[in-house]
Every structure is written in structure tokens, then in C-alpha cells.
A = this chain, B = another copy of it.
Amino acid sequence: MVGPGKDPRTTISPCEACSVRELSVCGVLSPSELDRLEAIVGKNNFAPLQMIFSEGDAAASLFNVTGGVVKIYKLLPDGRRQITGFLFPGDFLGLALHDTYSYSAEAITAVSLCRFPRTKLETLMGEMPHLEKQMLRTASNELAAAQDQMLLLGRKSAAERVATFLLMLHRRALRRDDSHGALLDLPISRADMADYLGLTIETVSRTFTKLKNEGLITLPGTHKVDLADMDQLEDLAGIVVDEDLANAAYL
């Protein structure tokens, strides 16, 4: 937003102007704390298909996604792949902090990240209780999401998996305020959906067709879905829409 020729140094720091701050770990910090975090942060950009890090790499950095979509995944020795998560703007990347990353991260779209050197971030966490508490909260949320995904992978049918997935994407788009009613952007290939849902490309494709034929969704384009019958999708997904819990869960 800063025009050419304008002095980028203002009293508003980049972090204070960050559009995803309220969604991320940074959201709980005071202005002075934010300054200290900003002092150790670096910006990185990645092109589609570019690796951000690989399983086994020394875990030197943690990241905050500020733009684009990232996938994280694990591989079996013979190449079978399980995507364990998609990360959108505001999501934290690299939480499972051992000395090496236990999974790989790759850019799906053009991606921009805030990069935090791990040692420096750990020092800051020791000094800023807010930050550490927020990291624990984030880890806790991810754990709950991981358990939901285990339920999906272990016990749901193909149609139930796809319905669950679409509703999750929709909920996250709403949270980012990146939503056009029930019309959903799918910046994810059929192959990546398959590897996330524990299915094959063909089964994912057939399931989309099936849901379309049954009137639960329409497909305005390969990467666009309209959630035409939200109630039936929720029934299919096995989501318990407890009035009160609906707003709180995972938001």
C-alpha cells in the first residue's frame, strides 16, 4: 500500500499494519511486545511448488503465514503421501518443535511468510508470558484439529470426508473474512485433496460429481464450489451443530 517514493518508515510498524495479526499469535501482544517480535522477524516469499522446509531438516525457524496457502505433509518410504494440514494466512507453521522438522512444508500458491529464528523466538517466549501462552493455545487448537482429522481418516466414508473438508474450508474462509456467502474458492488440486483426505484423485473427483448430482453442491468451476445445501452437508459431515458451540469451535 506504500506508494513508490514514499518513505516506508512511519510510526506505524509493519506488524501493526499486518492484516493477519488479529488471526495469529501476534494478536495478543502489546505494542512494545510487538516491537520486540518485529526485531527478530524476517520476511520470506515462496513461489508455487517451492519447498519451505523438508522433513528431517534442522528446525531453525518457525513461521507465520501472511499470504497464500501452504501444505504440510509426511511421506512413506515408497512415496505415499499424507497431507496433515493446509495453512492459510494467519496460521502458524512449524509448531512441532524438535531439533528437526517432523514433516515437510510446500507452497501451494504464491506464499509470504514471517520467519522467526527458533532460538530467538524461544528467548522471547521466556520473557513474554503472553506469547508462550498463546503458543500453547495454538498447539492445543492444532491438536484438537488433528483429532478431528483422525476421526475423518479412520471412520468416515469418501462422501463424508469431502463434505467435512468443504465445510472446514468454508469456516476458515469465514474466519479470514474471505468469504462470498456459500461460494467457496478451492485453491487446492484434486491430488492434494486426495492426499489430505486419505483417498485417490479419482475417488475425490467421483465424490464431487456425486455430491453435485445429489444437489448438495454446485461446481461453477473446477476450483470453485457452491455449498448449496449446507444442512445436508453438515449432516453428512457428522458435524454436531450445537447452537452455542458452533461459533466457538476452532475459531
Which residues of chain A have a CB within 8 Å of any CB of chain B?
56, 74, 76-78, 80-82, 84, 95-100, 102-103, 125-126, 129, 132-133, 135-136, 139-144, 146-151, 153-156, 195-198, 238, 240, 242, 245, 248-249
Interface centre among A74, A99, A143, A245 (most CB of B within 10 A): A143
A1 CB to nearest B CB, Å: 35
Interface contacts beyond A74-B147, A84-B147, A126-B129: sample of 16 additional A-B pairs, CB < 8 Å, sorted by A: A76-B238, A82-B150, A82-B155, A97-B140, A98-B140, A98-B249, A132-B133, A135-B136, A136-B136, A139-B143, A143-B143, A146-B146, A150-B150, A153-B198, A154-B196, A154-B197
Complex CA gap A178/B136 in Å reads: 31
Residues of chain B within 8 A of A198, CB atoms compared: 153-155
This chain: how many copies in the complex? 2
- Cβ of A153 and Cβ of B156 under 8 Å apart? no
A204 CB to nearest B CB, Å: 13
Residue of B nearest to A99 (CB): B248
Residue of B nearest to A97 (CB): B140
- Counting from the closest, the 5 A-B pairs by CB-CB distance are A154-B198, A153-B153, A146-B146, A139-B139, A82-B151
- Name A144's contact: one of B76, B96, B155 (CB within 8 Å): B96
- Cβ of A144 and Cβ of B102 under 8 Å apart? yes
- Cβ of B142 and Cβ of A136 under 8 Å apart? no
